[in-house]
Chain A
Amino acid sequence: MNIVACVKRVPTTEAEVKVSGDGKALETGGIAYMISFYDEIALEEAVKTKEALGSGEVTVLTIGPADGTKEIRECLAKGADKALLLKDDAWMNRDARATAKALAQQLGEMKADLVFMGRVATDRDNAAVGPMTATYLGWACVTDVIGLEIKDRAGKARVETEHGVETVEFSLPAIVTCNKGLNEPRYAGLKGIMAAKKKPLEEGTALDVPNQTQIVQIALPPARKEGRIVGEGAAAVPALMDALRNEAQVL
């Protein structure tokens, strides 16, 4: 089975956000990057699925900058067999549609059977690329998966909604987006790190798709009104109740 894990490089959770002078872009100088949190879960599920099936190959696919190979080597160290970096210097500004179209073209060409992606990339937070890519390809897609079984050319996934847990049955080829709880991503061992150095890392160019997203303005969130400590210990409860009832009027 041809298994692909799509990963994205994103600013770290702690990265300080600065807006450029024209208010239309983020300043990227000094930002540290990581693989998006949910993409680690996607990679783990790809490797686990290959291990469970006892055959197949896992390719890591990413759209990123030419120097974005550090994160890819980490994925190879965690069990992927090979990697493909689709270079795009403007990768951070690529919108969900432009990303999905480029991935769809590549995944179709690769004849992928099963593709894993994170539930959402923790930069633009759109959760759109998985279902969009599948739609462009005419493939099945299940989002926010917390449990998965693959048998022959079919899959059964569990997803958590606001109102319960649903079972979704689907046919391959398919794209599965992974939620926390699906697995516990492994750490790269020394053996994996050594092996990763010899694994193939190919480079290509991401399909050029103009963005539709028009950035009108980017701003830092409005500061919250300064709050206050109403007191210490249980003795402060009446003061808090008074504030909630009479000031904030939420009770």
Chain B
Amino acid sequence: MTTAIVFVEHADGTPRRASLECVGAAVAAGATVVAVLTGAGAEGAAAAVTGASEAVILTGGDGYSPDAFSAACAELIKARSAKAFFAASTYRGKDLAPRVAARLDVVPFADCIALSASGGGFEVRRPWLAGRCIATLGTSGDVMVATTRLNVFKPAASGAPAKVSNGAISEAPKARVTSVEAKTSSRLDVKEAAVIVSGGRGLQDAEKFKIVEELAAAFGNAAVGASRAIVDAGWRPHGEQVGQTGKTVSPKLYIAIGISGAIQHLAGMRTSGTIVAINKDKDAPIFKVADYGIVGDAFEIVPALTAAVKAVKAQA
């Protein structure tokens, strides 16, 4: 069987869901997965990586260094004659994978939405031009290096690593993380969330945007998203922007409120599971991609929807 090394991120000893989805994608494509982890709490997280046959914890250095860690990952890939290196398409994964690829002198692929075995190696499917077309790609390189889009793949159902071993990060770092300000809110990032409630210019001003936050809060675990127009206007931070110059998302449920649906926004969310649009303009392009639409005043509709969602959640 082909071996794939998968980078697993974790928090407080718990593997991140995005990484478990990535392991799941590799297992589903027929690979034997060796998980690679680093950082405080890696031992606890390693034992909880469902789908991995083995885990390797890399330690060394003062603070995370992407260049030093990528060197150690490349060494591990060579030592195991692995045919692939996968990571979730998170900040850390997207930063790491190209470095590992360059160490191996192979081409990497980001944000893949399908992964499959092909002729002893792997093939991927990924969006180009922010989803305006989908490319199926292979590589003539020795190793397939790819990151997987969040919320697209399923984690493996069960199976913990039978063996956990240690390795060293030995290269001198050229860049390293010296401090981290953790997010103060517990709200999920738009890339990770299963439900996103997004708002646009139709909400009139930054103050009135709170109806979007209230609906997101009613879902419990929803993220708040924003259109480019209102990020540029300074109502919301760039981290919340969905679209070609923001984040590309695939939640189970995407609710667009007061967003007309410019190409640049649709590019970032058209692969969502179910799309709901609330807009006063019945001809708004967002209705063309929406599964369900309500035409009308968001300031009447959204509070009513918030109350209805709260009522359902209270029953659950």
User: A residues within 8 Å of B by Cβ?
Assistant: 11, 13-15, 17, 19, 26, 37-38, 95-98, 100, 122-136, 138-144, 146, 159-171, 174, 179-181, 211-221, 224-225, 227-234, 236-238, 240-241, 243-245, 248, 250-251
Bound complex: CA A13 to CA B107 (Å): 25
User: In the complex, are the beta carbons of B293 and A229 less than 8 A apart?
Assistant: yes
User: In the complex, are the beta carbons of B95 and A165 less than 8 A apart?
Assistant: no
Distance (Å) between the CB of A232 and the closest chain B CB? 5
User: B residues within 8 Å of A by Cβ?
Assistant: 11, 66-67, 70, 90-92, 94-95, 97-99, 101-103, 105-111, 123, 126-141, 174-183, 189, 191-192, 195, 231, 237-239, 241, 244-246, 248, 252-253, 263-264, 270-271, 273-276, 282, 287, 289-297, 300-301, 303-305, 308-309, 312
Closest-by-CB residue of A relative to B299 is A234
Number of A-B residue pairs at CB separation under 8 A = 268
Known: A126-B108, A230-B293, A250-B253. A131 touches B129 (CB 8 A): no
User: In the complex, are the beta carbons of A123 and B106 less than 8 A apart?
Assistant: no
User: In the complex, are the beta carbons of B91 and A161 less than 8 A apart?
Assistant: yes
Known: A122-B245, A128-B110, A136-B102. A164 touches B132 (CB 8 A): no
Closest-by-CB residue of A relative to B195 is A250
Known: A19-B133, A167-B178. A135 touches B238 (CB 8 A): no
Bound complex: CA A124 to CA B127 (Å): 8
Distance (Å) between the CB of B139 and the closest chain A CB? 5
Bound complex: CA A169 to CA B248 (Å): 28
Distance (Å) between the CB of A21 and the closest chain B CB? 15
Bound complex: CA A162 to CA B237 (Å): 13
Contacts of A212 in B (CB 8 A): 106-107, 139-141
Bound complex: CA A143 to CA B238 (Å): 16
Closest-by-CB residue of B relative to A142 is B175
Contact among B105, B130, B140, B231 for A125, CB-based, below 8 A: B130
28 contacts between A and B (CB under 8 A): A17-B132, A123-B128, A124-B128, A125-B129, A126-B110, A131-B102, A134-B67, A135-B70, A140-B174, A162-B91, A162-B189, A162-B191, A162-B192, A169-B178, A174-B174, A180-B246, A215-B137, A218-B128, A218-B135, A218-B136, A224-B289, A224-B291, A228-B293, A237-B304, A241-B309, A250-B252, A250-B273, A251-B312
